[in-house]
A and B are shown apart, each in its own frame.
Chain A
């Protein structure tokens, strides 16, 4: 069966510090991968999605970046965090087909102080 894991689960970072969140999927190949952010009391905002290695689309202008160095690995990064980067970050995957269900990792809760 397929599984998805992301880490770390919780982190508190000062403004201006770097960020790296990692996500891996097991049990499938060539998945579509996604990074979402959920601010407190708000809906999910798509940040990045990837249909393959080194194929990444950004949905919103921001100081975050994403990379996909391997088929089932997706990394979210920032060189300098802003207060507004605080939120609940969710990695997700779907099958590489036109009707796909989306499955989420456990989430990473980031607080920028």
Chain B
């Protein structure tokens, strides 16, 4: 079983919609979690860090549920520029564990 699993999508949503991605993790000892955004043929860039129950930054909200071992990312009022692949990452010790990414396309 993979350390971190996420729905690959693709998610195609209209501009202005709200979209949510879920990610599950298998290692209950994971200390912290992150959401990264990766544009086509570019490096992943840190979007949000999740150390406790959740985090909010503008239109983006991340939530952590340790009992059920999942992390979610909610994007409100989607913009065309939100189109990208979103990577869920868990951190355990010195190791980072990446999901395979969820593809989002925001349609005009």
A, B co-complexed: yes
Q: Does B100 contact A (CB under 8 A)?
A: yes
Query: What's the minimum C-beta distance from A76 to chain B, rounded to whole angstroms?
Result: 15
The interface size bin for chain A is 20 to 34
Q: Does A113 contact B (CB under 8 A)?
A: no
CB of A46 within 8 A of CB of B95, answer yes
- Partner-binding segment picked from A12-20, A65-73, A101-109: A101-109
Would you mind naming 28 contact pairs between A and B with Cβ atoms under 8 Å apart? Answer: A34-B96, A42-B100, A43-B98, A43-B100, A43-B101, A44-B44, A44-B98, A46-B95, A49-B94, A49-B95, A90-B43, A94-B96, A98-B31, A98-B93, A99-B32, A100-B91, A101-B34, A101-B46, A101-B49, A102-B34, A102-B89, A103-B46, A104-B43, A104-B44, A105-B43, A106-B42, A107-B43, A109-B41
